[in-house]
Chains A and B, each alone.
Chain A
Amino acid sequence: NAGVTQTPKFQVLKTGQSMTLQCAQDMNHNSMYWYRQDPGMGLRLIYYSASEGTTDKGEVPNGYNVSRLNKREFSLRLESAAPSQTSVYFCASSVGLAGGETQYFGPGTRLLVL
């Protein structure tokens, strides 16, 4: 089992460019999440998907869109990148949304917007 995988590992964008961050999990989990982590800070939730076909906003959704492509894959899109979106992006998954269900994280995508 690879667990949660993310691509790319690193990306440099210019302001205004668009890109999609990919996330996939092979644990047959129903719920998936996107977080961002700014330097020296904790993680903040951007969007999550309780199950295939559903998505909901988290704490910091502005400037992002998501797609739950199927049960395995959950992508995050930046339509017009801004320097404020320079961050490390982590994807996570869990069996379900309930409080007792553990979230497992991917290795992260490091994004620099110039």
Chain B
Amino acid sequence: DAKTTQPPSMDCAEGRAANLPCNHSTISGNEYVYWYRQIHSQGPQYIIHGLKNNETNEMASLIITEDRKSSTLILPHATLRDTAVYYCIARVVALTFGSGTRLQVQP
């Protein structure tokens, strides 16, 4: 699986959009980009995934660059409940979790 690089921490004001970047410059053509989050020590929660095209669901949007070397997860209106560690993963089979980005949503 391709290695991903994320900033260790970010802050976001409540109600504003949170944009979480991820670099995966060594991603191969058959690797999907997945985003999970982990709140406290709960089990990781699936957010969204994509291969080439941008994706949107009820939780978030995923923007993948045309060369697929980076992506951005967008939480359109962050709330305090979105405070968590967010993991970006480039995956073929099993998920390989790095250290993630700790997002702190401020009131």
A residues neighboring B (CB under 8 Å) = 4, 33, 35, 37, 40-45, 48, 58-59, 88, 90, 92, 97-100, 102-108, 110
Residue B96 lies at the interface, judged by CB distance under 8 Å to chain A:
yes
Total interface residues in chain B, CB < 8 Å: 23
Question: A102, B43: Cβ atoms under 8 Å?
Answer: no
Question: B43, A103: Cβ atoms under 8 Å?
Answer: no
> What residues of chain A lie closer than 8 Å to B44, measured between beta carbons?
43, 90, 92, 105
Question: B100, A105: Cβ atoms under 8 Å?
Answer: no
Nearest-neighbour CB distance to chain A for B37, whole angstroms, equals 11
- Secondary structure at chain B's binding surface: helix, strand, loop or mixed? loop
Question: A42, B92: Cβ atoms under 8 Å?
Answer: no
Complex Cα–Cα for A42 and B100 (A): 7
Question: A100, B97: Cβ atoms under 8 Å?
Answer: no
Question: B46, A104: Cβ atoms under 8 Å?
Answer: yes
- The answer, among A40, A43, A104, for a CB contact under 8 Å with B97, is A43
- The answer, among B49, B94, B99, for a CB contact under 8 Å with A41, is B99
> What residues of chain B lie closer than 8 Å to A105, measured between beta carbons?
43-45
